[in-house]
Amino acid sequence: MLKPILLVEDNPKDLELTLVALERSQLANEVIVLRDGADALDYLLRRNAYSDRDDGNPAVLLLDLKLPKVDGLEVLEAVRATPELRSIPTVMLTSSREEPDLQRAYALGVNAYVVKPVEFKEFVTAISDLGVFWAVLNEPPPGSLRLSRRSTS
């Protein structure tokens, strides 16, 4: 069983493009879509509507910066402050090229900061490459559980 990809995106157009890109990369991972930072934290911390979700963390967290309720940087800060979540690879997917956003994301421990390309083909390539890298190629930290093709074959 593969670990899911958690995608937190509130913009319907960006969400659709990201899902198309992930589908084209032919990853077998389930993609869980959430629309705001509060739901993302509830999911990750297994509380409220997600209190009965299966154990385990996503293979990667693809996180928009500008989210309703709780913004992406606040989600990232909470993830890095929680021992059980801190090792989740987190990629900030954003249209913001603002240097303060970039600096704060890296200061909080983001693994990658990707500015969404405007051109569809570039966007699909960027998302596909990210999904393959974080869900398949990246080796998790020692001691973390990895459910993947490699561990089941």
List Cβ neighbours of 60 (8 Å cut-off, separation of 6 or more).
5, 6, 88, 89, 90, 91, 130, 131, 134, 135, 138
Q: How confident is the model at residue 137 (pLDDT cuts 50, 70, 90)?
A: low
**Over residues 73-80, mean pLDDT:** 98
Q: Give the pLDDT confidence score for residue 22 in this predicted structure.
A: 82
Task: Please report which residue ranges of the chain form alpha helices under DSSP H.
Answer: 12-24, 37-45, 72-81, 99-107, 120-132, 149-152
Domain ranges of the chain: 5-137
pLDDT tens digits, 33-76: 999 999 999 999 999 999 999 889 998 899 999 999 999 999 99
pTM reported for the whole predicted model: 0.82
Q: Any idea which of 16-20, 28-32, 114-118 has the lowest mean pLDDT?
A: 114-118
Q: Which CATH superfamily is domain 5-137 in?
A: Response regulator (3.40.50.2300)
Higher pLDDT: 131 or 128? It is: 128
